[in-house]
Structure 1
Amino acid sequence: MAALSSTMDMDYMEAMASSSGSGSGNGGNISATEATTTSSDGNATAENSTAIGTTTDSTDYMSGDDEEMLRIAFFIGDFVHQYYIPILCCTGSIGNILSVFVFFKTKLRKLSSSFYLAALAVSDTCFLGGLFAQWLNFLNVDIYNRNYFCQFFTFFSYLASFCSVWFVVAFTVERFIAVIYPLKRQTMCTVRRAKIVLSCLTLAGCLHCLPYILIAKPVFIAKLNATICDLNTEYKEQLALFNYWDSIVVYAVPFTTIAVLNTCTGCTVWKFATVRRTLTMHKMKPQTTSMPSNSTSPSAVSSYRISASLKRQKSTGTHPSGQHSVARQQQQQEDHHQQEHQQHINSCQHHCEITKKSDRRHKVQNSSQLKVTKMLLIVSTVFVCLNLPSCLLRIEAYWETESARNENSTIALQYIFHAFFITNFGINFVLYCVSGQNFRKAVLSIFRRVSAAQREAGNTQVT
């Protein structure tokens, strides 16, 4: 969205400049804070200067419909810049910080996916910090447009955007492995491996965004009579090539990977849920179980032998003392077989208890993994949905003419899609609470602990 969003914000600034010029007679009398430009990923771009004046110069030729559309476009832009951005930066940063605390201070820290989500929260917070620094220009707090600050915030914002995209790809790949290849989950989906992957992605992001430190600088715009943080037009050809490369690395490859892997993972989870429901229905049907027949056979055999012995004794006239001896043998054999039978029953019960505990443990693990998978599927899907409109506009900008690019309907869409894009960096905490049962429990446990600590502190002060 480099060219498109720069045009969007410069049009907004031009409208402000033209309105102030009509009242004071000096159209160029606009403060630097009103000349801030914001791209779709929170950064200024090299094509800002080419977009200046296209809107105001064409106002004389506008029809009534065009004026109405332009009024709607700038109303949306005014709302996004003045109200939505500060609210999103504050609430989103608080939610991201709380997410990091939940992932690292609860039992969720044992999951490798928690490290990916915590890293995503950190990168999102960094992006919102850069966006907030740009917004401060509207309050005459001119930090973003100063030398060195311009390079730092430009690099930092691009790095945060790069990391956020690829962190989502990383946990999408991990969930794909955990669902499609469950036997490899114990060895590949580990906390140690997650830390290595996150470190490598952060290093790759630093290398990818390093050129922005060299080419970003404060640039004076004569049309606005202001200095803004922009990209040096001396590297225009190199920037065009880098823009193509950035589109492939930050948009095309990650979005394609997420879409394909989410489709495979979602289909597998759906099949697993169907099979699980079928098995549950079969288990609910009444079944009759019986002990093995060989468990009662020794007693029957013993009784038969004893009765046969008594018959032989009666027929041969055995002495009464012999009958007592046979009775004692019968009692001993019965006691012995009863002990064996009881031991066999105890052994079966113990084996059944072990089997039930093992099955229960596996069910809990599978259920927990399934909940995590569903939550991550929702997070990555929402990520694609919020970023895809900006990506499509960026692709369209490659062959779109300058006049078509500054049509009022296009400007309005740019503002709306820009709001979608930045929303992605502050909405994840809400998604975790809505889709993650374990996350909700962890958040509630933290609030309970904080509340209990406050009560104890109050009781201590009273005493």
Structure 2
Amino acid sequence: MNSTTQMKAVETPLLRNNSFFIHKSENESSGSLELETEVNLQYHLARMIETYFVPIMCSVGIISNILAIKTFLHKGLRNYSCSRYLIAKCVSDTMFLLNLFVIYISHSLKYDLNTANNICQFVIFITYVSGFVSVWTVLLVTMENYIRIRLPFEVKRLCTTRNANIVIFLLVLAAVCIYNFALWISDKNCNPRPEYSTVTQAFIYIDTLLTLIIPSILLTVLIIAILTTFLRSDRKQFNTTEVSTRLVNASIARKSKSKVAVVTKLLLSVSLTFFLLTVTSHVVRIKLLISSVVSGKLELSNTEAAIQRIAQLFFYLSMAVNLFIFLTFGDNFRKVFKKTFLTWTSDRLKQSADDISRRTDVSRSRVTPDENEMSTLEHKSADRLEPGETYL
């Protein structure tokens, strides 16, 4: 038995990063999977991990992204342009995870989305748009931080919330215009139309260029430029000759370095985390594209198929860990988050305790009369006594 699974590209050209919906083997699609258990061990193990990991990750990711959005909308953060970009990323990631969760549930219920008119196309469309917006918002945050470090005098002019809103709007508009092909390039069963096969392949290459090659190159260049700025700044301070000037410059350098470090820490964490978690998925994706061009068909060994599924999980994870990155590396974000949610929770618990205490006091006052009430009762009771009787 050949240990290579022939992957049938039923939805592959249309859906970028959804292993629940991407590949069907020819045997699987015909209902007779006959590969040996030993050969499929790695693949089935990856599928088992995927089955339990995806719903947990989607649930945690959706909730945490909503909390992050709520935090960035706080008055202490919402007036920063980079916050607008991170809000856009959290929104797009939430849409992606919701989309993935719907597909997971439909799979669990054994409902084939391919048979639902327009739903499959819309799912693919949202996947493309959200993935595009997510990677480009990471790049935009990196660009803005580069401006803050290398061009500090241009920050007030370039890094404004108005400019950020315009850029985000144009980004979403571009995504809709580029990826609307997913709505019309497939038939009612979500299979690529044969007459559009060349167009489908062209859009795959365009998507790879826009979401992998260009962002990766720009992120690498920007990060290198930022690190170079640090090194040059330290070298200038080290070469100062006068002792007094050296001390003054050292003090300024420490303050400047501290401010820049606060900015770049979050920058590096967001950009590098996203890149590292998605690079494996993109490598597998490029391998599939090269294989399809060279051999004319998509072919993965069982080991490669298992790696592909694990790589997809890391890709999904990049959409779900935003809040944890912000809390770990964003000092201001962490302060606002604690003030927004932890203080609110503490106040609610305190208010609940006060309400319980207040209700308890009211109940006691109703059961046990106070001294004035007791005096009045005794006076009234004494008035009712017959002559010669005493009130005990």
TM-score interval, normalised by the smaller of the two chains? 0.7 to 0.9
Report SS of the residue matched to 1:152. helix
Change (3 A) 1:365 1:95: farther
Could you tell me which of 408, 421, 433 is aligned with 2:327? 433
| 2:53 partner letter | Y
5 Å-filtered alignment, 1:12-411, equals 39-42=15-18, 48=23, 51-53=25-27, 68-80=38-50, 82-140=51-109, 142=111, 144-145=113-114, 146-219=116-189, 229-272=190-233, 367-400=258-291, 401=295, 405-411=299-305
Change (3 A) 1:243 1:211: same
Q: Is the 8 A contact 2:8 2:23 kept in 1?
A: no
Q: Higher mean Cα deviation, 204-213 or 372-381?
A: 372-381
> Alpha-carbon deviation of 1:411?
1.1
Report SS of the residue matched to 1:406. strand
| 1:452 partner letter | D
Q: Output the CA distance in 2 between the equivalents of 1:182 and 1:286.
A: 23
> Alpha-carbon deviation of 1:438?
1.7
| 2:142 partner letter | T
Report SS of the residue matched to 2:354. helix
Q: Output the CA distance in 1 between the equivalents of 2:277 and 2:67.
A: 22
| 1:255 partner letter | S
Structure 1, unpaired ranges of 5+: 11-34, 220-228, 288-358
The superposition leaves residues 125-153 of structure 1 with CA deviations (integer Å, 9 ceiling, x where unpaired) of 00000000100123317384421222222
Q: Output the CA distance in 1 between the equivalents of 2:56 and 2:7.
A: 24
| 1:150 partner letter | C
Change (3 A) 1:109 1:143: farther
Report SS of the residue matched to 1:405. strand
> Alpha-carbon deviation of 1:451?
1.7
Q: Output the CA distance in 2 between the equivalents of 1:382 and 1:6.
A: 33
> Alpha-carbon deviation of 1:424?
0.8
2:307 aligned with 1:413: yes
Report SS of the residue matched to 1:399. helix
Q: Output the CA distance in 2 between the equivalents of 1:105 and 1:269.
A: 31
| 1:204 partner letter | A
Q: Which residue of 1 aligns with 2:351?
A: 456
Q: How many residues align?
A: 344
Change (3 A) 1:455 1:379: same
Q: Is the 8 A contact 1:8 1:415 kept in 2?
A: no
TM-score normalised by length of structure 1: 0.65
Q: Output the CA distance in 2 between the equivalents of 1:408 and 1:206.
A: 35
Could you tell me which of 299, 302, 318 is aligned with 1:424? 318
Change (3 A) 1:404 1:178: same
Change (3 A) 1:37 1:416: farther
Q: Output the CA distance in 2 between the equivalents of 1:6 and 1:106.
A: 54
| Structure with greater helix percent | 1
The superposition leaves residues 216-248 of structure 1 with CA deviations (integer Å, 9 ceiling, x where unpaired) of 4542xxxxxxxxx44444422210111111111
Q: Is the 8 A contact 1:44 1:230 kept in 2?
A: no
> RMSD in angstroms over aligned alpha carbons?
3.7
Q: Is the 8 A contact 1:99 1:429 kept in 2?
A: yes
> Alpha-carbon deviation of 1:74?
1.4
Q: Is the 8 A contact 1:91 1:426 kept in 2?
A: yes
Q: Output the CA distance in 2 between the equivalents of 1:452 and 1:277.
A: 50
Q: Which has the larger radius of gyration?
A: 1
Q: Output the CA distance in 1 between the equivalents of 2:12 and 2:357.
A: 53
Report SS of the residue matched to 1:377. helix
The superposition leaves residues 186-231 of structure 1 with CA deviations (integer Å, 9 ceiling, x where unpaired) of 2111111111111110110110111111124542xxxxxxxxx444
Change (3 A) 1:97 1:412: same
Q: Output the CA distance in 1 between the equivalents of 2:224 and 2:276.
A: 14
Q: Output the CA distance in 2 between the equivalents of 1:96 and 1:277.
A: 43
Report SS of the residue matched to 2:346. helix
The superposition leaves residues 371-405 of structure 1 with CA deviations (integer Å, 9 ceiling, x where unpaired) of 12221121111111112112222222233247883
Identity in percent: 26
Q: Output the CA distance in 1 between the equivalents of 2:353 and 2:187.
A: 53
Q: Output the CA distance in 2 between the equivalents of 1:6 and 1:384.
A: 30
Structure 2, unpaired ranges of 5+: 359-392
> Alpha-carbon deviation of 1:271?
4.4
| 1:414 partner letter | Q
Q: Output the CA distance in 1 between the equivalents of 2:193 and 2:124.
A: 12
| 1:193 partner letter | N
Q: Is the 8 A contact 1:43 1:158 kept in 2?
A: no
| 2:272 partner letter | T
> Alpha-carbon deviation of 1:285?
10
Change (3 A) 1:368 1:144: farther
